Amino acid sequence: MKVLKFGGTSVGSSDNIKQVIKILDSLSKSDHLAVVVSAVGGITDKLLSAAHAAVNKSIEYKSEFNTIKSIHLDIIKALIPDQNRALVEEVIQAKLMKLEQLLDGLYLINELSPKTTDKLLSFGELMSSFIINEALKSAGLSSGLKNSQELIVTDNNYTHASVFQPITSNNIKSYLSSCQDRVTIFPGFVSKAEDGELTTLGRGGSDYTAALIASAIQAEELQIWTDVSGMFTANPKLVKQAFPIRSISYQEAVELSHFGAKVLYPPTVQPVLDQDIPMVIKNTMAPEDPGTMIGRSVDNGSKNPVKGISHIGNIALLTLQGNGMVGIPGFSKRLFETLAQEKINIILITQASSEHSICFGILATDADRAKRSIDQAFELEIALHKIDPIEVETSLSIIAIVGDNMKNHQGISGRMFSSLGKNNVNIRAIAQGASERNISAVIDENDVRKALNTLHEVFFEVETRQVNLFITGVGNVGEKLIEQIKTQSAFLRDNLRINLRIIGLSNSKHMCFIRDGIDLENWTDALDKGDAAELDSFFDRVCSMNLRNSVFVDVTASQAVAEMYGKYLQENIAVVACNKIACSDDYSIYKELKRLSHKYNSPFLFETNVGAGLPVIDTLNNLIASGDEVNAIHAVLSGSLNFIFNNFNSKTKFHDIVKRAQDEGYTEPDPRTDLSGIDVARKILILARESGVELDLDAIEMDSFLTQAAMDANSVDDFYKTLMADESHYQSIFKHADENQCQLKFVAEFKNGKAKVGLQEIPKNHPFYNLKGKDNIVMFYTKRYPEQPMIIKGAGAGADVTASGLFADIIRASNS
């Protein structure tokens, strides 16, 4: 015989009950079935709501009662054929009349005792089991009904009665041994004390009823039918990648259930564990799914030592500490006795080996009562300053990883805590038993989603790292970056095991956020429909989403955006920037950003600050890290200026070449940033700093080729007018270089701690002479390359290459 239990949404509506009938019809053809059912339609909560309304003298209890009545009569109408309906309705109406009389009595006496609560709640299961049994018989099944109150005997601990198992087991065996029906229906949750008073089994009571029956008859299997396809590796509402666990041990199931897995209530397992009866968690709406098998010894073919991740919310952490505790026996005993007297359940305990403190977790709803009772119990020690008043921290949660085989694998806890640390999840307390079946940590409740996803990624996903991008600035470079991400997403997943998602986007007008990732086919529509853009609001949204592996990408030239980097780094959010302002600002700001990056383990990457997509900074960092020393740097660092002077000659106008460079995306929106030399100065400054030299922008010698009128122009339009007016000045510069058979290049130099930038005439035998188009070139003279420098050369401007440089930094940040 198999034992089945249907509850919750499985019997939540007439359509669901019809599905239950189909399942029982199929299974009963090959097995005798003992079936435990819960109250239909979520009636239990409605019964309590009606009772509380009655006790509080609210006439609303009548409305609640009418709702309960309607639910039952509607289900009868949907399930029972016309010819059988009158008899079923008559029985239910009689029960409803008794329920109404009970509620009327509560309204009059203004009191709801635990004893009366059990009597009240029993109506739900008793009416539900009767209706479902009649529906089965109407569908042609051989079905009978047995009131569990006549079989399950308990003490008088109302609302949470303890079962007298020997007599209960004998009652069940005696009844079922003579039962001829293919299906026997039992109401779950309900029971009766030895003196005949009605009792209930408390939370998970219907599961417990099914386990008691399975244990008594040594059933072939206990099936718990719910609305999910088994126990999942994590809460699928919080972790979208979670999947059903194929098989799991009793102990693992208990641990996961204790730490918040709602599918199973821990006491349920004990009766079947004693008899070594396998349990299966099945989905009523998807009966073909295999579900989760729970047994004493299981093998699901997986080598993963971690079976699941779970959490409990609404936790308070209490700490009892003081020098007077060290070496003095009895403190723990008094502490836990005090909590026991208050009937406060302890969820987690940890104690330092110094005995200076004891830390424990309880439900936050019990925190105030616990503090009062403990402070009172240790009133004398507190007055003598031997211990401190109890400390209470709230708004916490407990996360736990569970697995029987974790003890046989090294490094599990290391992987757990390092992954949480990398994602800025602060751990307040840790608990791990000697069995190593469970490793638990107390964290801020706001970090739960991020922590669960982080751990699931580490222990259950195929080495795939989900990276969440927040991009501000979607001009030429930003658009190219999004296009490259869209094109390469499959390659990254398949080859680098990186799942790259853009979660937030912002331009100067709008910003949008989608937690599951913005559709890159329609990102412009999403952005246009977004909220008004504002830097602080964008930052607040990024922080509130609190996603693991978050990366902020700055594709602007904004001072205000650059000033936000520190705030992101402190929140453990990586920063990738092509914006040069932060790294070329005051040296103290540059150093502070480096410090924050190191302190919070938040990558701060800015390869595209110099050379767009060329690996200039990365190469320099590798030289320094390997012990080399930079003697000098010679470079052409402006692709835009190189483009301009490679195309400017006696037959062209300087104004036209500059305008063309801007139109083709080689210059900043304000070309004066490039032509003034300030952009090149910032680049050589960044290289000097990355080589280990303290240098500021005002210390760089700048030799400008622009006229004073161009430098003083009030706007971009005015600037272009000066270029036209001063054409002869620019032609004279070209003519002088041409007469000397030289090329004009805007060169940056760094040597002996000093830097300068300016336009130079480059002779034919120099490496800079044949630099074409928008190319950059950087020559590193170092201790290891004193005469023949290390040279990096290639395209140093353009939206595509700059976007690719940003993309490379994003990949680096993803792998850090």
SS3 583: coil
Element (H, E) at 21: helix 14-27
Question: What's the rounded Cα separation, in Å, for the pair 447 and 545?
Answer: 10
Task: Give Cα separations from 581 to 85, 91, 209, 716, 792 (angstroms).
Answer: 79, 80, 68, 20, 23
Long-range Cβ contact pairs of 82-89 (< 8 A, separation 24 or more):
84/134, 84/137, 84/138, 88/130, 88/131, 88/134
d(CA 448, CA 425): 9
Q: How far is CA 199 from CA 210, 248, 322, in A?
A: 16, 32, 45
d(C-alpha 348, C-alpha 151), whole Å: 36
- Helix residue ranges per DSSP H, 610-653: 616-625, 639-647
Task: Name the nearest CA neighbour of 216 among 167, 269, 267.
Answer: 167
Please state at what angle helix 727-739 crosses helix 654-663, rounded to 10 degrees. Answer: 100
What b/e sequence results for 653-683 when a residue is b if at least 16 CB atoms lie within 10 Å of its CB, and e otherwise? ebbebbeebbeebbbeeebbbbbbbbbbbbb
Task: Return the exposure string of 452-464: e unless at least 16 CB atoms fall within 10 Å of the residue's CB, then b.
Answer: bbbbbbbbbbeee
Q: Is the dihedral of CA 452, 453, 457, 460 positive or negative?
A: positive
Residue whose tokens read 């410090």: 595
Q: What is the 3-state secondary structure (H, E, C) of 246-279?
A: CEEEHHHHHHHHHCCCCCCCHHHHHHHHHCCCCE
CA-to-CA distance for 596 and 566, rounded, in angstroms? 7
Alpha-helix runs per DSSP H in 555-612: 559-562, 565-570, 587-599
- Contact predicate 356/326, CB 8 Å: yes
Backbone angles phi, psi at 799, to 5 degrees: -65, -40
756 given a catalytic annotation: no
CA atoms within 13 A on the CB side of 590: 21
CB atoms under 10 Å from CB of 253, counted, come to 28
Query: What is the sign, positive or negative, of the torsion defined by CA atoms of 473, 475, 480, 483?
Result: positive
Q: Can you tell me the distance from the alpha carbon of 280 to that of 248, in angstroms, rounded to the nearest whole number?
A: 10
- The C-alpha atoms of residue 424 and residue 525 are separated, in whole angstroms, by 33
Please choose, from the candidates 365, 344, 162, 346, the residue with its C-alpha nearest in 3D space to the C-alpha of residue 258.
346
Rounded to an integer, what distance in angstroms lies between the CA atom of residue 712 and that of residue 536? Answer: 33
Name residue 274's amino acid. Answer: D
Q: What order of strands is seen across the sheet that includes strand 391-402?
A: 348-351, 357-363, 308-321, 391-402, 438-444, 427-432
- The amino acid at residue 585 is D
Instruction: Say how many residues make up the chain.
Output: 816
Closest CA relative to residue 67, chosen from 50, 85, 48: 50
Helices (H), 323-411: 331-341, 367-377, 379-383
- The catalytic position among 683, 735, 764, 772 is 683
| HSE, side-chain direction, 13 A CA sphere, residue 659 | 12
809 near 604, Cβ under 8 Å? no
The residues annotated with a catalytic role in the active site are: 683
